[in-house]
Homo-oligomer: A and B are copies of this chain.
């Protein structure tokens, strides 16, 4: 039985503004299903409902929980087409001009990245025509040299940030 006892977790230190094992389990639960009651979470992690509530409140205040949102189905709401778009720009600092794309509801992510491209976009829209229209807008931006689009054929997994982490992948940045 790999059951985790309350005492075991309680002993794990929680540094300044840190996250202990209780918090991590709570975050793990909430990131999967935020509709369950605090009492249900309390049962799973070994705490009372008010104790869980206190921690959730602190996790919200500290920003560890950025928001709690409804996850929608792209197909069901008329956006069956998902694509990742790499944008190359000429010169430096052209990313600022691209922030306007943020206003479009089709854009879900916008990152500056290393590698053979400058900006990486995640775009979800209604049709190939809509994607074409979107790319036209991208090319209207000053300094845009070209784009490469990766249309997704099938999504095998899609979720948000997970609280758990794999230990043997490599040590964290604070250990050496």
Contact = CB atoms under 8 A, between A and B. Distances in A.
Looking at chain A's contact residues, the main secondary structure is mixed
Number of copies: 2
Interface string A107-121: 111111111110010
Given A124-B161, A170-B132, A172-B130, A149 B67 contact: no
A157 B69 contact: no
A104 interface: yes
A161 B73 contact: yes
Interface of A: 19, 24, 27, 30-35, 62-74, 76-80, 82, 84, 95, 99, 102, 104-117, 120, 124-134, 137, 148-166, 168-173
